[in-house]
Homo-oligomer: A and B are copies of this chain.
Amino acid sequence: MLIRLDHIGIAVQNIQDALVFFQDALGMELDHVALEEGGKTSVAFMPMGDGELELVQPLESESGLAKFLAKRGEGIHHICFEVDDMDAALARLVAHGAQLIDAKPRVNASGTRYAFIHPKSAHGVLIELYQRA
């Protein structure tokens, strides 16, 4: 049902600072940096096999991402899997008692459906599922 790991999201205070490590010291490639979520988040996309590593920086203080940073500091924020059937994936999770953050998938600007599983159900891991539009 899961197709592949799409990305690992790393919460950072400042993307340019983080690139000094991930790009210069570690040797990863930067594809591009873009504003996401209507300008609430800045994201650096770094390709990695058939997925990518994403550095995510909050641009407003009230977002979940900003609160995560304030509470836990920088680090891995979430992992995202591509699924081929979002409805079936969410139904299976609910049938097994998993708690979802999004009972119904959200839809982004390009029509992609995505939903988060609550980390309480996922052994402390914030998991995003998405299905290509």
Contact = CB atoms under 8 A, between A and B. Distances in A.
Contacts of A26: 2, 89, 92-93, 98, 117, 122, 127
A123 B25 contact: no
Interface residues of A, number: 44
Contacts of A117: 26
A96 B24 contact: yes
Interface of A is mostly: mixed
Contacts of A73: 124
B27 A92 contact: yes
Interface in A1-39: 1-2, 4-5, 8, 10-12, 18, 20-22, 24-28
A96 B10 contact: no
